[in-house]
């Protein structure tokens, strides 16, 4: 019984760690979609962030510089998507997918050119921070208050994001841009600027999420290491009904499945069920959750539609 409890606590703590990068990236994506821009390029932005997080941390020996480099790289990618989607009114799916393909090519090339000599050497990454007093609380302390810095950010940022979205004037403008852009323009505001701002935010947060992946536990970069987390973000947004806080909670589904996947061997389950099934499990559960919620949620009315001021 004692051994089972230890396993469950370890699994739950790991679930929170695995969910954190996805939850961080999801906040910016919620804002982007709320303003009417569908950003399928989150996967590529996270991958770019993961690479530049490692690059910055390695060459400066500073985790903070690595995180800043990751967020800047994600921002630059998002501005490409913003220019294509908002300024040129290009198809948002094609623009986002182009960023995904670009990210794979760039990171593979730069990884060989700049980090190929590392041969598995780990760079400085996020350290575990124990919150004084709180980490001593039985069970709760081990689960929530003995985590790395990016996990604590994942506790706060979705809540702050929800408060801004629903309690501030800017949040109202963002929601209006995705529902009634003509009303936004009638109020003397720029729909284009709002959408640029939200896409930029999605890039910053995707870069942070990517840094959380690479500078978390592994602290090395491997090809396509984000492993589809960007697409999980898109599903979590639907499950979370375009609410940053609820989307963050939805990310725990992916985190729990990922943590179970890595711990299946300790249960001896691989002797019964092929390991490929556990590799698929996070994505199978994500698809199942998405299938259950599609039809029960209402997306922003103008999501994916380019804004044409001439139609006002």
User: Would you say residue 276 has pLDDT above 70?
Assistant: no
Interatomic CA distance for residues 237 and 162, integer angstroms: 13
In a domain, 92, yes or no: yes
Share of the chain above pLDDT 70, in %: 90
Report residue 61 as tokens. Answer: 């020996």
**For position 275, what pLDDT does the model report?**
64
* CATH code of residue 243: 1.10.3470
User: Would you say residue 308 has pLDDT above 80?
Assistant: no
199 and 82 in contact (C-beta within 8 Å)? yes
User: Would you say residue 3 has pLDDT above 70?
Assistant: no
**For position 82, what pLDDT does the model report?**
96
Interatomic CA distance for residues 36 and 301, integer angstroms: 8
Residue 173 burial (CB count, 10 A)? 19
Beta bridge partners of 147: 129
In a domain, 122, yes or no: no
The DSSP symbol for 102 reads: H
Helices (H), the chain: 2-34, 42-60, 63-82, 92-114, 140-144, 149-167, 169-179, 181-186, 191-213, 229-239, 244-263, 275-293
In a domain, 7, yes or no: yes
Maximum Cα interatomic distance, the chain, rounded to a whole number of Å: 68
Say how many domains are in the chain. Answer: 1
**For position 267, what pLDDT does the model report?**
61
In a domain, 210, yes or no: yes
Interatomic CA distance for residues 235 and 220, integer angstroms: 27
User: Would you say residue 165 has pLDDT above 70?
Assistant: yes
In a domain, 129, yes or no: no
**For position 247, what pLDDT does the model report?**
95
DSSP string of 47-61, one letter each residue: HHHHHHHHHHHHHHS
Interatomic CA distance for residues 109 and 132, integer angstroms: 43
**For position 138, what pLDDT does the model report?**
86
Comparison of pLDDT for 16 and 308, the residue scoring more = 16
Of the spans 48-62, 135-149, 254-268, 283-297, which averages the highest pLDDT? 48-62
The domain in which residue 300 lies consists of 2-117+135-311
Share of the chain above pLDDT 90, in %: 63
Query: Residue 130: in which H helix or E strand, if any?
Result: strand 128-130
In a domain, 231, yes or no: yes
Indicate the pLDDT class of residue 1, thresholds 50, 70 and 90: very low
User: Would you say residue 119 has pLDDT above 50?
Assistant: yes
53 and 66 in contact (C-beta within 8 Å)? yes
Indicate the pLDDT class of residue 84, thresholds 50, 70 and 90: very high
In a domain, 130, yes or no: no
For the entire predicted model, the pTM comes to 0.92
Comparison of pLDDT for 33 and 280, the residue scoring more = 33
Comparison of pLDDT for 10 and 163, the residue scoring more = 163
User: Would you say residue 139 has pLDDT above 50?
Assistant: yes
Report residue 187 as tokens. Answer: 């109020």
Interatomic CA distance for residues 207 and 49, integer angstroms: 4
In a domain, 82, yes or no: yes
Q: Would you call 39 exposed, middle or buried from its count of C-beta atoms within 10 A (0-12, 13-18, 19+)?
A: buried
């Amino acid at each position: 019984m004692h051994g089972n409890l230890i396993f469950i606590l370890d699994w739950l703590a790991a679930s929170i760690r695995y969910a954190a990068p996805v939850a961080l990236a999801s906040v910016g994506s919620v804002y982007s979609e709320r303003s009417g821009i569908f950003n399928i390029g989150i996967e590529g932005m996270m991958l770019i962030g993961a690479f530049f997080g490692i690059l910055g941390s390695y060459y400066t020996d500073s985790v903070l510089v690595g995180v800043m480099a990751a967020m800047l790289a994600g921002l630059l990618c998002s501005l490409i998507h913003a220019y294509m989607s908002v300024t040129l009114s290009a198809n948002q799916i094609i623009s986002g997918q182009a960023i995904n393909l670009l990210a794979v090519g760039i990171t593979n090339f730069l990884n060989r050119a700049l980090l190929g000599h590392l041969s598995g050497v780990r760079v400085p990454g996020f350290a575990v921070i124990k919150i004084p007093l709180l980490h001593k609380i039985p069970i709760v302390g081990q689960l929530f208050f003995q985590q790395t810095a990016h996990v604590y950010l994942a506790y706060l940022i979705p809540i702050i994001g929800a408060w801004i979205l629903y309690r501030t004037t800017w949040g109202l403008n963002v929601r209006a841009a995705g529902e009634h852009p003509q009303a936004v323009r009638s109020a003397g505001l720029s729909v284009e600027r709002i959408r640029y701002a939200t896409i930029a935010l999605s890039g910053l947060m995707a870069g942070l999420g990517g840094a959380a992946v690479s500078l978390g536990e592994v602290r090395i970069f491997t090809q396509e290491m984000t492993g589809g987390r960007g697409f999980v973000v898109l599903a979590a947004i639907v499950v979370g009904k375009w609410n940053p806080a609820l989307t963050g909670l939805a990310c725990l589904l992916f985190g729990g499945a990922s943590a179970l996947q890595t711990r299946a061997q300790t249960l001896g389950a691989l002797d019964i069920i092929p390991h490929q099934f556990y590799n698929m499990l996070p994505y199978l559960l994500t698809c199942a959750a998405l299938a259950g919620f599609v039809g029960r949620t209402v997306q922003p009315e103008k999501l994916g539609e380019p804004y044409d001021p001439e139609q006002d």
